[in-house]
Structure 1
Amino acid sequence: MRVIFAGTPDAAVPTLEALINSPHEVIAVITQPDARGKRGKTLHPSPVKTAAEEHGIDVLTPVSAKDPEFIAQIEALEADVAAVVAYGQILTEEMLAATEHGWVNLHFSLLPQWRGAAPVQRALMAGDEFTGASTFLLEKGLDTGPVIGTLTERVRALDTSGDLLDRLAHAGAPLMVQSLEALVSGQATPQPQGEDGVSYAAKLSREDAYVVWDRPSHVVDRQIRGCTPAPGAWTTLPDGSVAKLSPVSPIVDGPRTVPGQIKEVDGRVLVGTGTDPVALSTIAPAGKKAMNASDWWRGARLGDGAILGEA
């Protein structure tokens, strides 16, 4: 089986590695062009490009996957099928027709739940008990194609979106290999997605990561974990500056206080919510690295009347 792989971030690498280690031939890898880091002008290759080059595989980095010349280049490869994991560009119908058996996408949800860009983050923030991964044939709609295979994963109490995505990326890699094999051999019967249970997972914005302290503690907890590591949950300090927060711990039956009020109790730095308080783990004030919340509190000298998120 001759396979094209398209993907960009770390979450796509386990599937690429699984295909490379399978009996099949990865004839080309498509990924996003090298991008500038957050600091400086240096261009950095995507994790998928780095992995592919380590194995000596040809890497294609089109600025636009809609370019007719690029589509013709893909057609000329005469691939049996293509695998896609978080590539980051929309593929046209002409591109989807460029391989014999189509393009199979690995999506990190149980479709039709959480179609869209941030399924893992949205599942965590919604408090889902279970999530999973699905392989499906790409078509014109947003994550609407017929499903080939699925797997289920329990959401753990202390999961961040980074933790959960990493587990799904590794569990989904063999699912993709099996799905491609079944599709090309004719053993797969892709099933249309139903209309019941459809939900959408829009990309997280900076505003989505702003902690609203008057929500219940379990909702604050889910929001912060869902935004960790990216885009990073944040609040404002009493002086109006921004601070990023790591996951918190709800303190059941803890001392009630007004939402956003911060105080130290028995060595823990607590913040009030709409219900029970939460204990901070680490905090990163603007321009500084993350530090233990207790160490930060001693140095900040804010006093127990300080309120987060007001400025």
Structure 2
Amino acid sequence: MTSPRPLRLVFAGTPDVAVPSLRALHAAGHDIAAVVTRPDAPLGRKRVLTPSPVAQAADELGLRVIRAARLDADATEAITALAPELAVVVAYGGLVREPLLSAPRHGWINLHFSLLPRWRGSAPVQHALIAGDAELGTAVFQLVRELDAGDVYAQEAVPLPDDATAGEALAVLAEAGAAQLVDVVSTIAAGNAQARPQEGDPTPAPKLELADGLLEWTEPADRVFARYRGVTPEPGAHTTLDGARFKILRMARAGAGAPLAPGETAAAKDGVLVGTGTEPLLLTRVQPAGKGAMAAADWFRGLRETARLGA
């Protein structure tokens, strides 16, 4: 839905999931005075300084880019000088504080990838999947001093495949959320936007650490699979094999299968079965320590003896 009147915006975002929102706001005809993003970061084995996905998209659209590791006094001065009517943030990676928070006439709004107040924080999708939530979704809310606590303009559950990983879920939510965000900006421009306070008890969704990706094979299969979904691709699902880290890159539900002890492995038609506290799960792609990614079946065929994961 195109806004009845273009707004002068500042957009803040950094990773791939923010790009659909930037493109959608630009396509809707809004005057994007500048795009704020994190500085170029070293990537790959050669550590080449690389612009963020949002910076690359902004360059393609011919938009001014402000690179800022945090929204400090210099960034505040640069943004305020642009006199934006509204500021929009999608996964920028830094906090917005006063006086910048109140600088735009309509303040700041945030596209968040959860059904607020559930999962406030930097990793809402990951935590929702690990917890086995039946529904995931998006919310657009007014930014306030307290983390992800502002009044909500729009919120919607988004259907997802029941085996979607966090990376796959975020790609779907980013597209759905971009359309939702454009609609909210349109209502703000028209002067008829309405936001409601969040209802219910908030749950935290802090950034995940490497240890959060460890799979415990003694847990029920549903819980193991839920954690795998939530930590894929980052920080990455893993177990141990002979004391070394063993990455689980792709996993699926196995359906019916012969019972296996937790961590015990067995060959299967499409990969390798691994036992849990209940039924087995199916490994399809793995990365042993010191080796490249490979099909789980190829890894298993190269073993001299049956492997037990988690040991």
Which residue does the alignment assign to 1:216? Answer: 220
- Length, aligned pairs only: 305
Which residue does the alignment assign to 2:116? Answer: 111
Which residue does the alignment assign to 2:133? Answer: 128
Which residue does the alignment assign to 2:293? Answer: 290
SS of the residue 2:262 aligns to: coil
Which residue does the alignment assign to 1:307? Answer: 308
Among 26, 29, 36, the alignment partner of 1:23 is 29
Which residue does the alignment assign to 2:16? Answer: 10
The amino acid of 1:139's aligned partner reads V
Query: 2:271·2:295 contact (CA, 8 Å) conserved in 1?
Result: no
Aligned equivalents of 2:257, 2:31: Cα separation in 1: 58
Query: 1:80·1:184 contact (CA, 8 Å) conserved in 2?
Result: no
The amino acid of 1:111's aligned partner reads L
Query: 1:233·1:244 contact (CA, 8 Å) conserved in 2?
Result: yes
The amino acid of 1:308's aligned partner reads L
For the pair 1:33 / 2:39, whether they are aligned, the reply is yes
The amino acid of 2:89's aligned partner reads V
What is the TM-score with the length of structure 1 in the denominator?
0.94
CA RMSD of aligned residues (A): 1.5
SS of the residue 1:70 aligns to: helix
Which residue does the alignment assign to 2:261? Answer: 258
The amino acid of 2:18's aligned partner reads A
Which residue does the alignment assign to 1:186? Answer: 191
Query: 1:135·1:150 contact (CA, 8 Å) conserved in 2?
Result: yes
Note the C-alpha offset of 1:286.
2.3
Which residue does the alignment assign to 1:170? Answer: 175
SS of the residue 1:20 aligns to: helix
Aligned equivalents of 1:229, 1:265: Cα separation in 2: 24
For the pair 1:76 / 2:92, whether they are aligned, the reply is no
Query: 1:110·1:152 contact (CA, 8 Å) conserved in 2?
Result: yes
SS of the residue 1:220 aligns to: helix
Cα 1:5–1:263, aligned 2, differ >3 Å: closer, same or farther?
same
Which deviates more from structure 2 when the two are superposed, residues 166-175 or residues 256-265?
256-265
Note the C-alpha offset of 1:125.
1.2
For the pair 1:276 / 2:279, whether they are aligned, the reply is yes
Identity, % of aligned pairs?
A: 43
The amino acid of 2:234's aligned partner reads A
Query: 1:93·1:139 contact (CA, 8 Å) conserved in 2?
Result: no
Among 31, 45, 51, the alignment partner of 2:51 is 45
Note the C-alpha offset of 1:38.
4.4
SS of the residue 2:156 aligns to: strand
What is the TM-score with the length of structure 2 in the denominator?
0.94
The gaps in structure 1 that reach 5 residues or longer are none
The amino acid of 1:101's aligned partner reads H
Note the C-alpha offset of 1:252.
3.9
Note the C-alpha offset of 1:266.
5.4
Note the C-alpha offset of 1:120.
0.8
The amino acid of 1:182's aligned partner reads T
Note the C-alpha offset of 1:140.
0.5
Aligned equivalents of 1:267, 1:10: Cα separation in 2: 32
The amino acid of 1:65's aligned partner reads L
Note the C-alpha offset of 1:76.
1.2
SS of the residue 1:90 aligns to: coil
The gaps in structure 2 that reach 5 residues or longer are 1-6
The amino acid of 1:251's aligned partner reads A
Aligned equivalents of 2:107, 2:309: Cα separation in 1: 51
Which residue does the alignment assign to 1:87? Answer: 92
